[in-house]
Structure 1
Amino acid sequence: MRTIVITGGTDGMGAALARHFLDAGDRVVVIGRSRAKFEALQQVPNNRAEFIAADLSSVAESRDIVRRLRSRYERIDALVLAASFIRQRRHVTAEGHEASWILFFVSKYLFVTGLADRLGAAARPIVVNTAVPGARADAIDFDDLGMSRRFSFARSNAQQRRANELLGLLATGHDPRLAYVTWGPSGLVRTGFAGEVGPAMKISAAVLGTLVGTRPESAVRPIIDLIDTPVPGRAAYRGAKKRPLVTGDHDREDIARLVQVVEHELG
């Protein structure tokens, strides 16, 4: 029986993945905000399902979840990083960090590095990071990761995506057996919209998602295939289509610098 950990597993694609792997007989650990939604995704009581409540825009809570997972599981076969909460404007958390940067990269960094040995204990380990691939190689502002001086939604999004691609270098460098995939859907997905955004974006997402969006159960089929047949090394996908990895002249130096800055800022 595999152990599958899914962040953001109570809504949309995360919930669809949780249902699938529970039906397949796996143990599934769901990390999210709402226990009620977790209970709703289970059609019958299931002793292979575990829920851990967390706000992953909190560094302290992310670290605590990693500690709890380490204490409970000697092996993790698949780690799916799918937590999402969209903010169009810069938001500073009670810890003093920019919320989107923490949620969309730093929490993932803490999970991938903190659970490296648990993934390493699996026969065919895989990390699926739902960070849409393809950001520019120079998208990271190393001198201002929290974008306190010049924040925009587009710049913030590109920085997070590029950082998550570089995280794959760190992870697969540590364990060449690991499959590390940055993945984004091929189009709109018919799912709930969690975030603090303007009415135009919210209405557009709701209307277009309803009209042309893919059902979550269909959208996650490529992720299921990747987890069932992982290939060691880094890869990038949009839906089921493999995409080229973005490479820069200084990727190794960039991930080393990113780790140094993040670790310094986290103390």
Structure 2
Amino acid sequence: MRTIVITGGTDGMGAALARHYLAAGERVVVVGRSRAKFDALLADAPGESRFIAADLSLVAESRRVVDLLKTSYERVDALVLAASFIRQRRHLTAEGHEASWSLFFLSKYLFVTGLAGPLGAAGKPVVVNTAVPGARPDAIAFDDLEMAGGFSFRRSNAQQRRANELLGILATDRCPRLAYVTWGPSRLVRTGFAGEVGPGMRVSAAVLGRLLGQPPEKAVQPVIGIIDDPAPGRTSCRGATARPLTTGPHDEEDAARLASAVERTL
């Protein structure tokens, strides 16, 4: 029996993955904000599971969950990072971090680095990071990671995506056997929209999702393939299609610089 940890596992693609692996007889650990949604998920797919309630936009909560996982499980076979909450504007958490950066990168950094031991204990460890690949190499503002000097949704999104690609360098350097995949769906997914956005984005997402979106159960089929047959090293995919890794002239140095900057803020 494998241990599958899924952040954002009560909605959308995360929930679809949880249902699949519960039905397959795996141990599934879901990290999310809604116990009610988790209970509803279990009604559809009972099995060996655990729910950990947490707001992963808070560093202290991410640390708490990582510590709990390390003390509870000697081995983590797969880590799926799918928690999402979209914000169009800069927002500070109670800890003073920019909320999108904290959720979409700081929490992932803590999970990937903090669970290096349990992942390394697995036979075929895999991290699937739902950070759409393909951000430009210079997307990170190293001197202003939390964008106090000028926030935009587009810049924030690009920086998070590039940072999560560099996180794969740190992760695979520590564990060469690890498969680290930055992954995004091939097209829109018909799922709930969690976030604080304007009415235009919310209506567009709802309408286009209904008209053009694929169901979450279909969207995650490539992820299931990745988890069930992982290939060591860093890769990136849109749906089932492999995409070239974004490369810059100083990737290793940028990854180390990013880690150093983040450690100073945590």
**TM-score category by the smaller chain?**
over 0.9
- Which residue of structure 1 aligns with residue 208 of structure 2? 208
- Which residue of structure 2 aligns with residue 237 of structure 1? 237
Distance 2:179 2:4 in 1: 14
Distance 1:72 1:46 in 2: 21
- Which residue of structure 2 aligns with residue 189 of structure 1? 189
Number of residues paired by the alignment?
266
Larger mean Cα displacement after TM superposition, 37-46 or 154-163 = 37-46
SS in 2 for 1:109: helix
Distance 2:48 2:142 in 1: 41
Counterpart mapping for 1:93-112 below 5 A: 93-112=93-112
Q: Is the 8 A contact 2:23 2:46 kept in 1?
A: no
- Which residue of structure 2 aligns with residue 8 of structure 1? 8
SS in 2 for 1:42: helix
Amino acid at match of 2:115: L
- Which residue of structure 2 aligns with residue 71 of structure 1? 71
Amino acid at match of 1:152: S
Mapped pair 1:23 → 2:3? no
Amino acid at match of 1:201: M
TM-score for both structures, normalised by structure 1: 0.99
Q: Is the 8 A contact 2:19 2:44 kept in 1?
A: no
Deviations 1:132-159 (A, max 9, x none): 0000000000000000011000000000
Alpha-carbon shift at residue 200 of structure 1 (Å): 0.3
Distance 1:123 1:145 in 2: 35
Distance 1:45 1:215 in 2: 17
Distance 2:148 2:126 in 1: 34
Distance 1:123 1:265 in 2: 33
Distance 2:182 2:252 in 1: 18
Identity of aligned residues (%): 73
TM-score for both structures, normalised by structure 2: 0.99
Alpha-carbon shift at residue 46 of structure 1 (Å): 3.8
Distance 2:113 2:222 in 1: 25
Alpha-carbon shift at residue 261 of structure 1 (Å): 0.6
Alpha-carbon shift at residue 7 of structure 1 (Å): 0.1
Alpha-carbon shift at residue 42 of structure 1 (Å): 1.4
Distance 1:252 1:216 in 2: 35
- Which residue of structure 1 aligns with residue 60 of structure 2? 60
SS in 1 for 2:181: strand
Distance 1:70 1:256 in 2: 24
Amino acid at match of 1:36: A
Distance 1:26 1:50 in 2: 12
Distance 1:69 1:44 in 2: 25
Alpha-carbon shift at residue 47 of structure 1 (Å): 5.1
Amino acid at match of 1:15: A
- Which residue of structure 2 aligns with residue 260 of structure 1? 260
Deviations 1:107-138 (A, max 9, x none): 00000000001000000000000000000000
Deviations 1:192-218 (A, max 9, x none): 000000000000000000011000000
Mapped pair 1:115 → 2:130? no
- Which residue of structure 2 aligns with residue 36 of structure 1? 36
Distance 1:234 1:222 in 2: 16
- Which residue of structure 1 aligns with residue 89 of structure 2? 89
Q: Structure 1 unaligned segments of length 5 or more: list them.
A: none
- Which residue of structure 2 aligns with residue 227 of structure 1? 227
Distance 2:111 2:66 in 1: 6
- Which residue of structure 2 aligns with residue 129 of structure 1? 129
Distance 1:93 1:45 in 2: 34
Deviations 1:67-99 (A, max 9, x none): 000010000000000000000000000000000
Amino acid at match of 2:113: T
SS in 1 for 2:43: coil
